[in-house]
A and B are shown apart, each in its own frame.
Chain A
Amino acid sequence: MGELSPSAHLDKPFPPGRYPLIVVGSGPGGLQLSYSLSRLGIGHAVLSEDSAPGGMFRRWPVFQRMLSWTKPYTGLQRSSRAYERFDWNSLLADDERQRAVMPALMDGTSYFPSRPEMQRGLETFAERTDIKVRYDCRWESTSLTPSPSGGGQGGAQDFILGTSDGEYRAPIVVFAVGVAEPYRPPIPGLEQVPHYGDFQPVEHYKDRRVFIIGKQNSGFEIASGLLPWARQLILASPSPTKLSVNTHTLVGVRARYVQPYEDAALAGGVIILETTIEAVEAASSGYRVRTRNTEGRTLTMEVDDVIAATGFTCPLRDLPGLGVATFGQSRLPAQTPFWESATLPGIFFAGTITQGSAGLKKHGIPSNSGAVQGHRYNARVLAGHLAETRFGMRLPRPSLPAGELVAHLLSELSVGPELWHQRSYLARVVSLDRGQGITDEGVWPLAHFLDHGGADAVAITLESNGQGNPYPAVYLRKDGAVSEHLMEPNPLLDFRSGDYPRQMQAILEPVLAAAPAPA
């Protein structure tokens, strides 16, 4: 698969005007949402300041290889839902021929796709699913005006997006603009050093002493890449490094980037410091970095280069001024469980920004919404939510015979990719209404199920406590009260046999005993 054809770049769909919904961004989040909206028949425009699909993966990671894997051989059909658990990088499609784009594009040298392979994967998905985007159209400003369909004053409102191509209006706007704007903490002098995104060709660092501020994945990615080039690497930040192999989650530095950690542990050319950086000053042949640790000990180091691997923020432009509350270093927008701004209704989010909707974050473990394998499911759930709440649709909900309920739930827990990738965050919900029968309601944010009441129902998800294998969690709602039931993990990660069917039956019994007879 090569680049898109020139005509695709030049095609300019979605001229300025009013649309039912506008998506801003053409990274994986914007593409997945546009695809899912189109499948539901929801008309929308997609605007992007980029010239082609891919978002940040058109540039980063700087060392040109992804942190998310696509495992080519699993014994599963690549077109199956179950395969999605092992393919973290392909976007989701209903048509089997459009699924699992990534493995066919990878050259077999690694199960982490290269950045160009990831870019090609996103371009291929957009082309095969015929996603239309108005490229080279930069969103520049946002304002509000009474909606023509909302009865004027006091009624519904439209958002006005000022863009490089003109003015757009819509009552709903979904921003999928990533979390990729460089952030520098207010350390004196830090403004003069390059950020992660300004990384020079590796040859620049040959036989040099390099100070990296930040001990997250971006800092360790750079350190890993510079091991064969730099004379000495110093990584520093105030708190200790966590490793993903210890946290059993994506919290912490990934195994791919742990080599500098071992180098430091074995007293090689890497030094890792827990310290506050007080200032960065220009020196005769580079920089002078002054630090102070929690015991008050100061260190001043002369180095050739300083790199700020200090994180990223959201490019929300004027949205905070319009009322979108943000929080944290990344200035993520505060969101409802369905990824709507918690403070400005009508503004939604897709893609990696959806990590701002934290969910339960049980045991401190976040969702995977910051990565493609997580937020691709958020986008599909969001499309369904918008369809039902804003466009008057009712999505199909299959009925389940009572005799198949336990097997259905245990199958979803064992192979349902939404639950594996979005633990404690997305849940399969089955209503057990005495009047309506047993109905699969689909995948919901777990927080919404727990906090918004409703008829008798069960929600299942997988959870982790940071210590061992994931385990099934069952939330049973009966007469308005929700009870939590945690099952044991299975070392083989399959819950369809053994004692699990009996346990699930016992958990459901209080509601099933009062439910309708089997269909």
Chain B
Amino acid sequence: MAVQSDVVNTIAGFALFADLSGPQLEEVAHTFDEAWFGAGERILRQGVSGSGFYIILEGSAAIRVNGVDRSVLKAGDYFGEISCLLGEVPVADIVAAQPLRCLVLPAGELEGFLTRHPRIMFRLLQGEARKLKHTTAWVS
């Protein structure tokens, strides 16, 4: 599904795309598809292949591991990148906590997308570094 015209303005406020110009934001918006999920619907399924990289436009979602909710994702957050980058099945369910509107890119297109947009790759790397920092702090 091609995206609505308001998406460019929405993603302009996300940290992931903070370095992009207007035409670059528009190109990004046209690269992704838009998806909508009802409350309680699963977006990623633990152990099921063929997932994608999702960026939340509106709403929130739970990260659920073996049936237990571990964290909450909100607008501007993204998920699915680990399974996309590693070529492995997701290790958690992602479940819409309330109606969820997302951008989505298939796993097979993420590498090309990131290498074409090094500033987005850097921002994504920063995000992964923050997650690692929080996880390290949590386990220690």
Report which A residues bind B (CB closer than 8 A). Answer: 185-186, 237-239, 274-276, 292-294, 296, 311, 325, 327-332, 334, 336, 342-343, 355-356, 358, 360-365, 424, 450-451, 463, 465-467, 482-484, 486
Contacts and interface: CB of A to CB of B under 8 A. Distances in A.
A314 to B, nearest CB: 11
B10 interface: no
Contacts of B1: 327-330, 332, 355-356, 358
Given A239-B27, A311-B2, A360-B48, A327 B109 contact: no
A174 B125 CA distance: 46
A358 B50 contact: no
Nearest to A214: B2
Chain B's interface size range is: 35 or more
A329 B34 contact: yes
B64 interface: no
A328 B3 contact: yes
A239 B35 contact: no
Contacts of A311: 2
Contacts of B51: 362
- Nearest first, the 3 A-B pairs at minimum CB distance are A364-B106, A362-B50, A328-B1
A358 B106 CA distance: 14
A451 B64 CA distance: 14
A362 B49 contact: yes
A325 B4 contact: no
Contacts of B47: 482-484
B50 A424 contact: yes
A333 to B, nearest CB: 9
A343 B38 contact: yes
B9 to A, nearest CB: 11
Given A292-B22, A451-B45, 9 more contacts: A238-B29, A328-B33, A329-B2, A361-B104, A363-B108, A364-B107, A365-B106, A465-B108, A486-B49
Nearest to B44: A360
Nearest to A331: B4
B130 to A, nearest CB: 27
A342 B101 CA distance: 13
A358 B35 contact: yes
B41 interface: yes
Contact of B99 (A325, A356, A451): A325
B5 A185 contact: yes
Contacts of B21: 294, 296
Contact of A327 (B27, B41, B101): B101
Nearest to B35: A358
A484 B48 contact: yes
Nearest to B2: A329
A291 to B, nearest CB: 9
Contacts of B3: 328-329
B36 A466 contact: no
Contacts of A482: 47-48
Contacts of A342: 36, 38, 41, 99
